[in-house]
Amino acid sequence: MDFGFIMEAFPQIAAAIPVTLLMVFVSAGIGWVLGLAAALVRKNRTPVLSQILAVFVSFMRSVPSVIVLYIAYYVMPAVIYAYGQNIGWAIDINAVPPIAYAIFALTLSQAAYSSEVFRAAIAAVDEGQTEAAYSVGMTRAQALFRIVFPQAFATAMPNLGGLFVGLIKETSLAYYVGVYEITAVANLLSIPKLNFIEAYIMTTVVYEILSFLFNKCFRAGESRLKRFRANAAG
Amino acid sequence: MDYMVKLENIQKSFGDNHILKGVELNIKKGEVVVILGPSGSGKTTLLRTINFLDAADEGSVCVNDFKVDAKKHNKAQVIELRRKTAMVFQNYNLFANKTILENVMEGLVTVKKFKKSDAEEMSRRILAKVGLSERCDFYPAQLSGGQQQRAGIARALILDPDVILFDEPTSALDPELVGEVLSTIKNVAQTGITMIVVTHEIAFAREVATRVIFMEGGKVVEQGPPEALLVHPKEPRTQQFLSRITGISESA
């Protein structure tokens, strides 16, 4: 074990945590909003859009994330470039930083996975809750935001927490498209003197700590959202 | 003659199942109408067509001179109609994520745009009337069925609706809790508000109703004052139903 390497490399690896967290927060933030919207569209069985989303979700769930990332990184620039030429714009593809493609791919994957979580959670809210909201004269939006969503989120929390921790780990794939996040930095530092074991131990520790902390946050959020349930402390 | 509730030719099917076959009903202000009938007769569905929780296929619903045609209604009309009515549900359907106080305040604050402090004061007063002062800060899951249903009645009452629709308000309750809910409904009836109650409680109908309606097969079979309909029903089908439900053998 090369402790000198660990002492030297750890601060640099830790310095990459913000890059990882940037990908996590942006992808989850945008992806979950899209996922919730997709869940509503599918619940309402909106024609055409609902079927398109079903195919999208099933595609995203069956293709490995790294492939989605490669598609985003290698195929999208070509498409954007061709589109730019079409409308007479010279778009400089190289000006787009790799992290943008990684966030794009991760956002789509979060949208797909979270839409299934939200769909199940919304379906678990008793139809009578919506009917009662309508009976006092609420609009559909009022019924959703004031009655259905708060109950659905309480149900969705454990799964969202799992999704979130999974996403933290998934950001390591961004290494493949040249994003200097935790895994990438550790790997690159380990190459000159072949300190792979040390590097992997450090990345493990960093991911473990991040997962632990965010798990705690989700647990706390869950018990707050579930305070209305009978078995919660009243 | 002006009616508070006027239903014209209400037709409703679920798939091939023709539930309501042209129901006509006129209800005056202050009437307490009890609807009886065997299960599957369409009485709950009829109640739900009044506030469009189930939109009728044909016919029209008119509440306090606001008429909505089933065939060409829009969202705004439905919301307007729902704001003239309130409903008490068989399974209470209190908002699970809100306390009892918040449940009652919700309609005032969100729908009627009352100031929160005013809404809270009114809600506390009405919860006291149904005997739930001590339970304001509890969540529905922490209350008994009878308490939940009394809160449900308070939630409907506070909106000061033109008509309150009761959908089998005691059917899901333990027998020993039925009494407290019925006496609450009785008190509501004495305030002179227009009520339509779907129930199986014959004794309650007899005591509280101003008119009893017997439905079967999606139609009104017979209606009249409670004494006349419950004690001396004219239609053989009504006689048969009543004798079964009260356990007394047929007299006719």
What is the per-residue pLDDT across A146-194, written as a single tens digit (0 to 9) for each? 999 999 999 999 999 999 999 999 999 999 999 999 999 999 999 998 9
Tell me the mean pLDDT in the region B4-15: 95
pLDDT of residue B248: 56
Q: Please report the number of interchain residue pairs, chain A to chain B, with beta-carbon separation below 8 angstroms.
A: 79
Phi-psi region of B159 (alpha: psi -120 to 50; beta: other; left: phi over 0): alpha
Report the chain A residue with the minimal C-alpha distance to residue B99: A228
- Contact partners, residue A3, CB within 8 Å, separation at least 6: none
pLDDT value at A233 more than 60: no
Distances (CA, A) of B55 to A47, B10, B180: 21, 10, 32
Asked if A144 has any chain B CB less than 8 Å from its own CB, the reply is no
Q: Do B155 and A136 touch (CB under 8 A)?
A: yes
In whole angstroms, what is the distance from residue B95 CA to residue A132 CA? 8
pLDDT value at A230 more than 80: no
In whole angstroms, what is the distance from residue B169 CA to residue B147 CA? 12
Contact residues on chain B for A229, CB-CB shorter than 8 A: 139, 141
pLDDT value at B252 more than 70: no
In whole angstroms, what is the distance from residue A118 CA to residue B209 CA? 45
Tell me the mean pLDDT in the region B173-181: 91
Is the separation of the CB atoms in B98 and A228 below 8 Å? yes
- For the purposes of burial, counting CB atoms within 10 Å of the CB of B80, is it exposed (0-12), middle (13-18) or buried (19 or more)? middle
Report the chain B residue with the minimal C-alpha distance to residue A145: B110
Asked if B3 has any chain A CB less than 8 Å from its own CB, the reply is no
Report the chain B residue with the minimal C-alpha distance to residue A131: B53
- Total-model pTM: 0.88
In whole angstroms, what is the distance from residue B74 CA to residue B78 CA? 6
Of the partner residues A135, A138, A139, the one whose CB lies closest to the CB of residue B86: A135
Distances (CA, A) of A40 to A4, A131, B211: 54, 17, 44
Identify which of B165, B132, B166 has the alpha carbon closest to the alpha carbon of residue B146.
Answer: B132
**Range 16-55 of A in CB contact (< 8 A) with B:** none
Contact residues on chain B for A142, CB-CB shorter than 8 A: 110-111
pLDDT level of residue A11 (50, 70, 90 thresholds): very high
- Contact partners, residue A23, CB within 8 Å, separation at least 6: A99, A102, A103, A106, A171, A174, A179, A181
Q: Which of A136, A139, A146, A148 to mutate to test the interface with B (most CBs of B within 10 A)?
A: A136
In whole angstroms, what is the distance from residue B142 CA to residue B139 CA? 6
Kindly report the nearest CA distance between residue A55 and chain B, in angstroms. 29
Domains of chain A (ranges, CATH numbers)? 3-233 (1.10.3720.10)
pLDDT of residue A227: 86
For tokens 């006496």, name the residue.
B183
**Range 101-130 of A in CB contact (< 8 A) with B:** 126, 128-129
Identify which of A70, A59, A72 has the alpha carbon closest to the alpha carbon of residue A116.
Answer: A59
Mean pLDDT of chain A: 92
pLDDT value at B71 more than 60: yes
- Contact partners, residue B139, CB within 8 Å, separation at least 6: A227, A228, A229, A230, A234, B96, B98, B99, B100
pLDDT level of residue B247 (50, 70, 90 thresholds): low
For tokens 């309606």, name the residue.
B213
- Percent of chain B residues past pLDDT 90, beyond the cut: 89
Quickly count helices (H) and strands (E) in chain B: 9, 10
DSSP per-residue string spanning B198-209: E-S-HHHHHHH-
Contact residues on chain B for A126, CB-CB shorter than 8 A: 93, 96
Element (H, E) at B86: strand B85-88
Contact residues on chain A for B154, CB-CB shorter than 8 A: none
Tokens of residue A225, six digits: 């959202």
Q: Which of A122, A125, A130, A135 to mutate to test the interface with B (most CBs of B within 10 A)?
A: A135
pLDDT level of residue B1 (50, 70, 90 thresholds): low
Contact residues on chain A for B79, CB-CB shorter than 8 A: 137, 139
Asked if B82 has any chain A CB less than 8 Å from its own CB, the reply is yes
Distances (CA, A) of A5 to A86, A190, A195, A207: 52, 8, 8, 19
pLDDT value at B250 more than 80: no
Q: Do A132 and B51 touch (CB under 8 A)?
A: no
In whole angstroms, what is the distance from residue B95 CA to residue B152 CA? 10
Identify which of B191, B181, B189 has the alpha carbon closest to the alpha carbon of residue B226.
Answer: B189
pLDDT level of residue A139 (50, 70, 90 thresholds): very high
Per DSSP, helices labelled H in B20-143 are 43-50, 75-82, 100-106, 116-129
Asked if B133 has any chain A CB less than 8 Å from its own CB, the reply is no
Residues A55-93: b if buried by 16+ CB within 10 A, e if exposed: eebeebeeeebeebbbebbeebeeeeeeeeeeeeeeeee
In whole angstroms, what is the distance from residue B239 CA to residue B134 CA? 45
A46-60, A82-96, A166-180, B86-100: which has the minimum mean pLDDT?
A: A82-96
Q: Do B142 and A234 touch (CB under 8 A)?
A: yes
